[in-house]
Amino acid sequence: MGKKIWICAGNTLEKRISELMAEFSLPRPIALFLANRDVDVENVELFMNPVLNKLSDPYRFPGIKDAVARLWDAICNDEPILIHGDYDTDGITATALLSNVLRQNGARVFSFIPHRFDDGYGFTPESLDKALEHMDKKCGVLVTVDCGITSIDAVEHAKKLGIDVVITDHHEPINELPDALAIINPKVYSELNDLDLLAGAGVAFKLSHAFIKWGREQKIGGFNTKLQEVLDYVALGTIADIVPILGENRILVKYGLEILKKQLRPGVRALIESARASQKLKTSDITFKLAPRLNASGRLGDAYASLALLESDNIVEAYQYAAKLDEYNHDRQELEQEIYAQAKAIIENEMNIKNINSIVVAGENWHQGVIGIVASRLARDYNRPAIVLTIIDGMAHGSGRSIGSLNLVDVLMKCSGLLQRHGGHPMAVGLGLKSDNIAEFTEKFEKYTKESLSEHDLCNSTVYDGDVELRELDEQFFAILEKLSPFGHSNNKPLFRFNNLETVKCTPIAGNKHCRGILRNHKNEQIEFIAFNCKREDVSRYPMDILATPQINEFYNERRPQLQIIDMIPSC
């Protein structure tokens, strides 16, 4: 601890903090938290009390009425509907969600998830042909989920086969859009910029909402569908895809977590039990326990085991699929660690990390399914945008992860002359290029990241919300604290600085791997603390400044305030 630079985010927000305190009678630390998340006075109530009736009208999407009218026509005419998904958790949950809603209303649904290695990423002419082979009747309508926004050739191929295509996606569009019946992607329409944080599962939910709304208005169906019950899928996909838990995502995730806790689906119950996740399920349980298992099957090849688990209505079958995902996840962890070690050795031995702003590392025949996780670890460890490439038969297939506010999609666009393919989100991308072009790509990638990143961006730092006194963590603060969740990307837990605290008591736990105790300030105010990965002897009895997250410890059903220490330094 104490090796990172501490950066205060709230130094220039005093005016907004004062406004929030005055308008809502908020404790200062709560107002500080809200100001740092750019929540203005008009949006405080919705932020702290996200409710389903505040979800926006799905009809705002241009073309969505044409899309749902076509789906209802297919149901009425007994036409099969093909859903083309993707092999990550977001794509799998979006597929399960839309399939569930359509089947509840009489649709004959066929779901296709591409094989990562046999089919590659996205909706392609080849993946369409493969999907059609498994249908027992001519397909008239196809819906993509979490893919398709750049699939111009695939949509053209579908049209020649007489198939109407509805694109639902949340990835960045390119200059030319597919000639689909409808494109449901908030990033395509400037008037929907309040929805451009939605994950693929969130966009699929919007289509489902419009589908049910249209069916009820036309009096043709949808009356028995409870859309709230598919929000577990939305929560899984949204959290797994690491999109900001802000705007409508807060509403969808909050209620989705409640549905997940109820474990209405056998597959969800089996997944939660096999992952040993908390019964009080939090976003962190999805991030670190559930999503890795759902992702594992697709990373190693065939994602159908994850889809089958989520769609299973038989608990015995669900446990079997959950056990299979456990095996996949174990294999994934071993592969990831092996490649990570090799990649790190290349960085340490061949790169001067202090003099570069980015990392591009390549290896022969590295497993394509885990290089994205390796890129995430490298970006985190070195605080540099990282691209990891696996070279297979003269082609380099890669995944990239960003840091801070660097938009990797924009950077790759500047390198596009060297790339065979590229796409994704600002924080996570996929790409492909000829292996002969790796050296030139590395040079250009470094050039363009250097233009966008400063030395400040690359320092090993922790950003905290602001300085707080122990007395400000009163009953009102802890009563409101729970309303700030769900936490996640762009809505991290509050992190405050507390100055000049001394340790009154410190007890080792878990064999001295962690410790807990009591802190006291110069006014003799006290609070309990816990510090993970911190030994008893690391906690000084001399005055310390600490960065910590306030929380309620519910150990043995007794609720007590405490600070979870994230970092500490000696007081000046």
The answer to whether position 383 is within a domain reads yes
pLDDT of the residue at 345: 97
pLDDT of the residue at 458: 84
Q: Map tokens 């960003």 to a residue.
A: 402
Q: Compute the residue count for the chain.
A: 572
Report the domain count for the chain. 3
List, edge to edge, every strand of the sheet that includes 108-112.
108-112, 80-84, 141-145, 164-168, 182-184
The answer to whether position 554 is within a domain reads yes
The answer to whether position 430 is within a domain reads yes
Q: What is the pLDDT of residues 261-306, one digit of tens each?
A: 999 999 999 999 999 998 889 999 999 999 999 999 999 878 999 9
The answer to whether position 263 is within a domain reads no
pLDDT at residue 312 tops 70: yes
Q: Which amino acid is at 238?
A: T
Q: Quick one: pLDDT band at residue 209, thresholds 50, 70, 90?
A: very high
Task: Judge if pTM exceeds 0.75.
Answer: yes
The answer to whether position 499 is within a domain reads yes
Considering the domain architecture, whether residues 423 and 466 belong to the same structural domain is answered as no
Closest Cα to residue 286, out of 238, 231, 233, 239? 239
pLDDT at residue 555 tops 80: no
Considering the domain architecture, whether residues 198 and 75 belong to the same structural domain is answered as yes
Closest Cα to residue 98, out of 134, 67, 60? 67
Residue 15 tokens, joined: 């005016």
pLDDT at residue 150 tops 90: yes
Closest Cα to residue 368, out of 388, 346, 347, 343? 388
pLDDT at residue 536 tops 90: no
Last residue of a domain, one of 172, 201, 220: 220
Considering the domain architecture, whether residues 419 and 468 belong to the same structural domain is answered as no
The answer to whether position 135 is within a domain reads yes
Q: What is the per-residue DSSP string for 137-189? A: S---EEEEES--TT-HHHHHHHHHTT-EEEEE--SPP-SSPP--SEEE-GGG-
CATH number at residue 146: 3.90.1640.30
Q: What is the pLDDT of residues 324-341, one digit of tens each?
A: 999 999 999 999 999 999
pLDDT of the residue at 389: 98
Spatial separation of the C-alpha atoms in residues 384 and 300, rounded to whole Å: 27
The 10 Å CB-count burial string (b at 16+, else e) for 259-282 is: bbbebebbbbbbbbebbebeeebb
Considering the domain architecture, whether residues 438 and 501 belong to the same structural domain is answered as no
- Provide the 10 A C-beta neighbour count for residue 521: 17
pLDDT at residue 456 tops 80: no
pLDDT of the residue at 538: 80
Which stretches within 5-133 are classed as H helix? 14-24, 28-36, 44-48, 64-76, 89-104, 125-133
What value does the mean pLDDT of the chain take? 94
pLDDT at residue 353 tops 80: yes
Considering the domain architecture, whether residues 417 and 474 belong to the same structural domain is answered as no
The answer to whether position 409 is within a domain reads yes
Considering the domain architecture, whether residues 63 and 212 belong to the same structural domain is answered as yes
Spatial separation of the C-alpha atoms in residues 126 and 405, rounded to whole Å: 35
pLDDT of the residue at 12: 87
Considering the domain architecture, whether residues 515 and 378 belong to the same structural domain is answered as no
In a 3-state reduction of DSSP, which class is residue 251? helix
Closest Cα to residue 551, out of 538, 542, 563, 543? 563
Considering the domain architecture, whether residues 213 and 88 belong to the same structural domain is answered as yes
pLDDT at residue 114 tops 90: yes
Q: Quick one: pLDDT band at residue 537, thresholds 50, 70, 90?
A: confident
CATH number at residue 19: 2.40.50.460
Considering the domain architecture, whether residues 75 and 197 belong to the same structural domain is answered as yes
Considering the domain architecture, whether residues 370 and 423 belong to the same structural domain is answered as yes
Last residue of a domain, one of 455, 487, 522: 455
pLDDT at residue 44 tops 90: yes
Q: What is the pLDDT of residues 52-98, one digit of tens each?
A: 999 999 999 999 999 999 999 999 999 999 999 999 999 999 999 99
pLDDT at residue 404 tops 90: no
488-513 mean pLDDT: 92
pLDDT of the residue at 304: 94
Give whole-number Cα distances, 554 to 38, 106, 221, 560, in Å: 30, 46, 46, 7
Last residue of a domain, one of 401, 434, 455: 455
- Provide the domain limits for residue 510: 5-47+462-570
Considering the domain architecture, whether residues 359 and 434 belong to the same structural domain is answered as yes
- Provide the 10 A C-beta neighbour count for residue 419: 18
Could you say which DSSP state residue 437 is in? G
pLDDT of the residue at 459: 82
Q: Quick one: pLDDT band at residue 2, thresholds 50, 70, 90?
A: low
Q: Quick one: pLDDT band at residue 1, thresholds 50, 70, 90?
A: low
The answer to whether position 332 is within a domain reads no
Which residues are within 8 A (CB) of 202 and not within 5 positions of it... i.e. 6 or more apart? Answer: 170, 234, 237, 238, 243, 248, 249, 252
